[in-house]
Each structure stands twice: as C-alpha cells, then as structure tokens.
Structure 1
Amino acid sequence: MSSEEHVKIFVHERYFQKYSVDRRIYCVPVDEDEENRLETQHQILLKYFNDRLFLAPVDYPERVLDCGYGQGHWVVQFAEEYDESEVLGIDIFTPNLPEQPENLELSGYNLNDRLNDAGLFERNAYDLIHSRFVGPGIKSNRWESYIQDMRRLLKPGGWVQMMEYYPNIQSDSGLLSDQSALTRWWTTYANAMERSNRDPRIGQRLQPLLTGAGLRNVHGARISLPIGAWPSGISFFSSSFNPRIYP
C-alpha cells in the first residue's frame, strides 16, 4: 500500500480513510471518537475475560499475527506483556501509534487480499493468530478463504482466536417489539451490509467456517453484552468468569 493510506476525508462530520472509502473496503470512521470507542471496547472485553488477552491454551506465544489491529490497543498490550514474542499487526488503516514496542511490526494490508505476501508472512510460523471485529471490512465471499489463509500461516499446534459481533439487539424479557427503534435499526443496518457485500451475521458462522477449513479442537461461545439501563443489584462483570471455550 502507498502513502495514500494515511489520507483522510471529512464526511457527515466524521473523518474516514480515503483509500478505504474510494474502494469500498472499510467505511468506518478513523477519528478521535472512533479511537475512544475502540479503547472502551478493548477495556470492556479485558474486564469480561478477566484481563486475559487470549484464551488459547498457549503459555507464551513466540510468534503472533493480529489481523485488523485498529488503533493497536490489543496488539500493543500483547507486545508489551510478551516482550520476547515476535508480533506482527496488519490493518487497512495504519495510524501512527504513540508508543510502539520494539518487538511489534505494523503493516498496511487489505484483509480481502490473500494472506500470501512472502515478504510479510511466513507459512506454518505463528503460534497465535488473532482476528477481532473485522466483519465490516471483509467481503461476504472472502471469509472461507480468509480462514483458510490463517490456517496455512499457523504453526502446527498453533491457535486462531476470532471474535465478531452479531449486533441484532434483543431483550431477555421479550418486550422488544418488531417496531422498536433498535429492531428497525438492525434491519436497516443488516440490509446496508448485505448490499455492500458484507455478512452482518458472520459471528454465527465462525465455528462452522473454522471446522470447514480443517482446523481441529474448534470451540465457540456466544457472549451477550448488555446495553442500556439495568436493574439495581445486577452485576454484569464477574471476577469468576471462566468460559469453557477450550478444553
């Protein structure tokens, strides 16, 4: 990718990456508000998973690939905590990170392209490949080959950890009607994603896609994240949370 990946445009009072918008790759803002959202998202997930950056049963991953590192919150923290690891982060937008650990390499890359750049990737090399919330940028017909690419890059015995939203907001009480603003928002959003050749329900398909790519010991969990007001006395986070995702 060229220097144009750093060029931004101002649309609807938000900044976007011109390269992505022109090519209809990833039409999500890249401004300070988005950075704050990603930071909050990262902290929520950290708290949910008891400060664990990954759940795979690997004591100390020596080589790690982070696909779609965003503002770098996960990949920078990982590189800092595992300072003897060799870490590579790739993303369509490559912001200048204020502090980049010496063991972290960052590179611009379109995840819709095959992960076969011999100058950047090495086959059968990575102990852990991390992919989180890249659904808005990956074309619907790319997912199968995307996961196959990650499998080829994995070291024998390595692990892939993936996480994607299914943003169909629902109510445990069943009181959320089909005419509610949230339900109508989801319908509009899902239709827009599908028209853009994106799969808004990809979170529900990750497990069979991983199995179909030939990966073994595939485990998955559906995690509900609450929004809005909650009754007093109900605590969302639990210090004893221990998802049975891996044996």
Structure 2
Amino acid sequence: MSNQPTAIDNNTALVNVEVDTSYENDSSYGDELSSYSESLTSSVLEYRHENGRRYHGFRDGSYLLPNDEQENDRLDMLHELFLQLLNRRLYLSPIGKPQRVIDLGTGTGIWAIDFADEHPQAEVIGCDLSPTQPTLVPPNVKFLIDDIEAEWTYEKNPFDFIHARNLVVSIRDFGRLIKQCYRSVKPGGWVEFQDWDGYAYSEDGSLAGTNLQRYYDEVYGAFEKAGYETRPGPKLEGWFKDAGFVNIHVRKFQVPYGVWPKDPHFKKIGTWMLAAIEAGFEAGALAALTRYKEWMKDEVIALASRARADGRKRSVHMIGDFYVVYGQRPAN
C-alpha cells in the first residue's frame, strides 16, 4: 500500500489490523501584525470560565468547545493530521492563483497562515468567534472576529476560494452556510469543506459495547440535543448540489484511531489521531454534557478517562471517515 492519500468508496476496507502478539495491554514573519475587522470589545475578550476550561465570550454559548491553550494545541495537532491525510496539501480544489480567500472557523489560524505563505499574492482572511490567533503572521493575512452562521456581507466583495475544515459539532445549519458560501464566491470560484462523519465505527465489531462508543453516543447525543450537526461529512455533497455548485468532487478517507493498523501510513495517521483525540476527550464533552444533559464535571472526567483507556487498546479498532468535498460556482 502506498503512502499517498487514498480515496475510498463506501464500505471498502483499507485499514488492516497489525498482529502484535507481544502487546500485553488491550515561521517567522518579521514585525507584521494581523489586523481585525473590528475593535476587540469587552464581549470578545471577556471569556467564559467553566469547569476549569476557557470558552469564547463573543456570542457566548454559540460554540461548545474551549478556546484555551490546551485546546489550541489540540487543533494544531489536528492540522498536522489533516496534512498527513492529504499528502501535505492544504486543499484539493484546482484554485490556481486566487486573489481573495477566507477560512471559516479558522481556530488558531494555522491553515490561513500556511495558505498565505503558499500564496503570497492572495489576501487571506481567517474568521472565528475567538481572537486566539497569533499576531506575528504573513502580511497578507488578517483575522476577523465574527459568527459564520450569522448573515454575511461578502456578496459585494466575493472570494476566489472559500475553505472550511473540521466544523463538526460547531454548526447548526450546514445547508444554509454552504448557500452563503455560494453567494459569496466569485463565478468560477471554488468552495471546499473538509469534515467528519462524527460517529466512528469498527469493521470487526470491536468498538461495540466499549466506553469509547458510549462516550461518542453520550457526547454527540448532547450536541444533537443542542441542535448541532454531528455527521456533516457524508452530507456535504448533497448540500453542495442544493446550493447550486457544479464540478463537485468527493474524497473519503478512513482514519484509524490508535497504533493498531498494519500499514505504516495508516499507523502514522492513527498515531496522530490518537494524540489529537486523547487531548480532546474532556474538551469535547464538558460543556455539552454539563449544559445539555446535566452531568457533573466529575462524571464527565470519569467517562473521558474510561474512553481514553479503551482507545489505547490494540483490540479496539476504531475508524472515523473524513470527507473532502469541493465544488465550483458556475462561471455564468
């Protein structure tokens, strides 16, 4: 099996388990500063502190994951995972040399910064609820503090390329968001979403009945109760078609959790996935379960700990499906 990213069809198994009988337990950018589209008001900087974690203050409650340093480190680990999946590519769309680009839900801004380095001719905007991005960035990057699910005002100054990644459990209405992308991209321009089917699985049934499965059932149940989309990946193609995009392309990647795969490429991917998910068990569950299912903090931490232990077992072969979908607004 090659080390290139592999597009797969539904129900096709490519991740094989490594048999290991010895295992006993289951850029510097000068002085340029990023600019924001608005002054950082008190509502932006007055973060919510809850259960030992820090959450955004602007549009408080719109996003249920933390924005503290621990979470930012996890997001940067996910960035490396996605680069591994896409053979070090930031995107798959055939965009040429875009002049104006936006990254939706930019998080730490790492994708926007890397893209700006690759495309110095482009004006690159990263948009997020939290002002947690660095200040020393390429001169062609700026960050906006805004809610991407609110009404947009970009139609009069549209983009050549719109990018969004890892918005699972962050968005309530993906269909509406993608229609806003259609209206805000230039004729002939491209939109690309990269996202998960949030519910993991195992092809051999080894996930069934584990605390790992219970974790996802409980946590995603809470997100769904709050109105968030937990399975955007397989639905993206339909939303792109509904919005009017053409030349739609779909790639699906199997992403193993842990070091159990036999193939060296998948083992490396699984190691990055293990690190990123382990760092996010509590972060992903605390707000959702305490706010929407009335769990206590200690109960959430206990569930996260049990799920983490199951995830380290080589006998549990969890896989997640990651989708890259891109489409073009018709030129006429």
Q: Given that residues 126 and 153 in structure 1 are in contact (C-alpha distance below 8 angstroms), is that contact kept between their aligned partners in structure 2?
A: yes
Q: CA deviation at 1:3?
A: 3.3
Equivalent positions of 1:102-113 (< 5 A) are 102-113=139-150
Q: Secondary structure at the match of 1:219?
A: strand
What is the percent sequence identity of the aligned residues? Answer: 29
> Which stretch of the first structure deviates more once superposed, 228-237 or 65-74?
228-237
2:197 and 2:130 mapped to 1: Cα distance?
Answer: 23
CA displacement, residues 9-46 of structure 1 (integer Å, 9 cap, x when unaligned) = 321221112334x4x20021111111110111101111
Q: Deviations over 1:114-140 (max 9, x none)?
A: 212xxxx2447311100111232222x
SS in 1 for 2:254: coil
Change (3 A) 1:190 1:65: same
Match of 2:199 in 1: 168
Residue identity opposite 1:155 in structure 2: K
Aligned-partner SS, 2:219: helix
Amino acid of the structure 2 residue aligned with 1:41: L
Q: Secondary structure at the match of 1:65?
A: strand
| Structure 1 residues 76-91: aligned runs within 5 Å | 76-91=113-128
Q: For residue 229 of structure 1, what is the aligned residue in structure 2? A: 259
Distance 1:245 1:190 in 2: 23
Are 1:163 and 1:203, in contact at CA under 8 Å, matched by a contact in 2? yes
Mark the CA change 1:185 to 1:95 in structure 2 (over 3 Å): closer, same or farther. same
**Of 12, 16, 37, which residue of structure 1 is paired with 2:55?**
16
Stretches of 4+ aligned residues off by more than 4 angstroms = 243-247
Q: Please state how far the C-alpha of 1:172 moved relative to its aligned partner.
A: 2.5
Aligned partner (choices 122, 135, 153) of residue 168 of structure 2: 135
Which of the numbers 32, 55, 65 marks the counterpart of 2:92? Answer: 55
Shift of 1:231: 4.8
**Residue in 1 that maps onto 2:17:** none
Task: Call closer, same or farther: CA 1:210–1:28 in 2, change over 3 Å.
Answer: same
Is the alpha carbon distance of 1:221 and 1:210 closer, same or farther for their aligned partners in structure 2, counting shifts above 3 Å? same
The superposition leaves residues 43-88 of structure 1 with CA deviations (integer Å, 9 ceiling, x where unpaired) of: 1111221211111112222211111110001001111221111111
TM-score (norm 2): 0.65
Shift of 1:153: 1.0
1:135–1:200 contact (8 Å) kept in structure 2: yes
Q: Using a 3 Å threshold, how does the CA distance of structure 1 residues 80 and 204 change in structure 2: closer, same or farther?
A: same
Greater length-normalized contact order (CA 8 Å, ≥ 6 residues apart):
2
Counterparts of 1:14 and 1:89, CA distance in 2: 24
SS of match in other structure, 1:189: helix
1:173 Cα deviation from its structure 2 partner: 2.2
Cα pair distance change 1:196/1:101, threshold 3 Å: same
Name the residue aligned to 1:99: 136
State whether residues 66 and 131 of structure 1, in contact with CA within 8 Å, keep that contact through their aligned partners in structure 2: yes
- Flag the 1:52–1:100 CA change in 2: closer, same or farther, 3 A: same
The one-letter amino acid of 1:83's match is P
The amino acid of 2:120's aligned partner reads D
Which amino acid is 2:51 matched to? H
| Runs of 5+ consecutive residues of structure 2 not aligned to the other structure | 1-37, 270-322, 328-332
> Do the aligned partners of residues 168 and 37 (structure 1) sit closer, same or farther apart at CA in structure 2, a change above 3 Å counting?
same
Residues 44, 56 of structure 2: 8 Å contact kept:
yes
Q: How many residues align?
A: 234
SS at match of 1:25: coil
* SS of residue in 1 equivalent to 2:81: helix
Residue of structure 2 in register with 1:69 after alignment:
106
Cα 1:181–1:122 shift into 2, 3 Å: same
